[in-house]
Amino acid sequence: MNHVVCPMCGSENIFADSGLITGKYKCNECGYVGSLIYEFDDKDYELFKRQLERSKSREKFPK
């Protein structure tokens, strides 16, 4: 299965903004708007999510 995810927050709650002809996407989680989205299969999606979690926890708990 393919996953279309937001490059900012990794949410799949991202949709093509039909109001625009530029082919931009809008994320309903973080409000990101842009033409860049990520598309992953199941394996790459898991990797991306793990990476995202790691960078998040790094921000939360700085060394």
Residues that bind Zn ion (CB under 5 A): 6, 8-9, 11, 27, 29-30, 32
Smallest gap, in angstroms, from Cβ of residue 39 to Zn ion? 15
- Cα 63 to Cα 48: distance, rounded to the nearest angstrom: 23
Alpha helix ranges (H) inside the chain: 42-60
Smallest gap, in angstroms, from Cβ of residue 22 to Zn ion? 18
- Cα 58 to Cα 44: distance, rounded to the nearest angstrom: 21
Smallest gap, in angstroms, from Cβ of residue 14 to Zn ion? 6
The residue among 23 and 63 lying less far from Zn ion, judged by its C-beta, is 23
